[in-house]
Amino acid sequence: MVSVNELFGGTVMSAVPDPYAVYRRLRRESPVTLVDMVFSEVYLVTRYDDVLAILKNAARFSARAHAKGIGLVFGKTIIEMDGRAHVRHRNLIAPAFAPRALAGVLPAVMREIAHQLIDGLEPQGRADLVSQFTFTFPLRVMCGILGLPVADYEAFHRLALDLISIADDPPRAFAAAQAIADYLRPLLAQRRAEPTGDLVSSLVHAEVDGERLSEEEVLSFLRLLIPAGAETTYRLLGSALLALLMHPRLLEEVRADRTKVGWAIEETLRWEAPVQHIPRETTEPVTIAGVDIPAGSMVMGAVGSANRDESHFPDPDRFDLHRRPDDHLAFGFGRHFCAGANFARAEAAVALNALLDRLPRLRVEPGTESGVVGLAFRSPERLPVRFD
């Protein structure tokens, strides 16, 4: 068994610059590797077909594995539920992210928020698109859906980042979970007394099997939704912008033909999946790639590795706008396929189109490195640009 730090060469998982060389070697030499992670030993699975098989089989690979990782700070949520409990709780939030919602007023709200942010950038001629746009945009949208004060969006995003930093700094993650709960409790009481039609109001008045959700269940939902609603799009959008800006010919191709925005997003999801790992727990003894794994073991599907498996995606390390990767695993697969996948795609498309509309000759600052960092979650930390 090898430690995660030895394997990826660092002590801060959020700062790992390039795990793909390691994944390439593991796919070739040790496609299932026992790794000592922060909270438990896990079998790291790196080949596309094996990761897909894990995600397809919910009976043998249970989502309750999340309870031993990120669930420690989220609380019990749908991501660690199986079977009927998962379906019932998922149905509570599904309407907010359903195609009907994305065909209504929501895209107009997204566009308004994107253009408001660009209004602040446009006169300067230069910006850091991460700190001044991608970090901000998706959480403003999510605050509107949840009914949270937009004025508090930045504090919420910082807390969301702290929540998912549990592998690097557990005390900071637990403190963030408590801070979110302390902030939200008065708001939950207010929405119980005076519902407003937002998602928080829906959750505090929702029933599962004839019973209202407890306050802790609602808080757990919100601890999940705040980072999930912000982090995926924030990271996806940053990586998409970086990929296009580092390939100016492709950027101009997308600018000229906006039907290609969607394919740029899909290729980004394959090339730099925002969420790189999906944990599962075996419910019975299994064998993967010749490795026997006991029941009750933690198995980690390395989505980032699967999406760059050369046996499935030719020349996988290259960002290819014309690849059409409709079978990447960035949003998972099967029963636990991300409920907000189409929402994240829509947000990213709105944001990319707005930036291309408003910022002529958008280009990276000279000397900018094409660096994306992180092990479990990946995106550029900064993206300095100029425009006319």
Q: Does residue 329 lie in a domain region?
A: yes
Mean pLDDT value of segment 321-344: 87
pLDDT at 158: 79
When comparing pLDDT for 273 and 70, which is higher? 273
Q: Does residue 352 lie in a domain region?
A: yes
Burial of 72 (0-12, 13-18, 19+ CB in 10 A): middle
**pLDDT (tens digit per residue) in 164-185:** 777 777 888 888 888 888 888 8
CATH code: domain of residue 270? 1.10.630.10
pLDDT at 97: 67
Query: How far apart (Å, rounded) are the C-alpha atoms in residues 174 and 164?
Result: 10
Q: Does residue 102 lie in a domain region?
A: yes
201 pLDDT band, cuts 50/70/90, is: confident
CB count within 10 Å of CB 57 equals 14
Q: Does residue 266 lie in a domain region?
A: yes
Helical axes 215-245 vs 248-256, angle rounded to 10°: 110
The pair of structure tokens assigned to 279 is: 């944990």
Look-up: residue for tokens 């064998």? 287
pLDDT at 152 over 90: no
249 pLDDT band, cuts 50/70/90, is: very high
Q: What is the DSSP string of 135-196?
A: TTHHHHHHHHHHT--GGGHHHHHHHHHHHTTTTT-HHHHHHHHHHHHHHHHHHHHHHHHS--
Query: How far apart (Å, rounded) are the C-alpha atoms in residues 143 and 122?
Result: 24
Residue-number span of the structural domain to which 58 is assigned: 2-381
* Angle at 284 (CA atoms; ends 283, 285), nearest 5 degrees: 135
CA neighbor of 298 nearest in space, from 39, 28, 42: 42
Structure-derived torsion over alpha carbons of residues 327, 93, 217, 221, reported in degrees to the nearest 10? 60
pLDDT at 322 over 90: yes
Q: Considering the chain, what is the average pLDDT of its residues?
A: 87
pLDDT at 150 over 60: yes
**pLDDT (tens digit per residue) in 216-236:** 888 887 877 777 767 788 899
**pLDDT (tens digit per residue) in 77-89:** 667 677 777 777 7
**pLDDT (tens digit per residue) in 128-137:** 999 999 988 9
102 pLDDT band, cuts 50/70/90, is: low
Q: Does residue 387 lie in a domain region?
A: no
pLDDT at 376: 86
pLDDT at 80: 67
pLDDT at 281 over 90: yes
| Total domains, the chain | 1
Q: Does residue 30 lie in a domain region?
A: yes
When comparing pLDDT for 54 and 206, which is higher? 54
Percentage of the chain beyond pLDDT 70 is 91
Mean pLDDT value of segment 95-99: 65
CB count within 10 Å of CB 383 equals 24
pLDDT at 96 over 70: no
- Non-local CB neighbours of 66 within 8 Å, separated by 6+ positions: 74, 77, 79, 80, 279
3-state secondary structure of 298: strand
Q: Does residue 19 lie in a domain region?
A: yes
Q: Does residue 386 lie in a domain region?
A: no
The pair of structure tokens assigned to 378 is: 């990946």
Look-up: residue for tokens 């999946």? 273
The pair of structure tokens assigned to 332 is: 């998972």
Mean pLDDT value of segment 93-118: 79
Percentage of the chain beyond pLDDT 90 is 47
When comparing pLDDT for 295 and 336, which is higher? 295
pLDDT at 195: 87
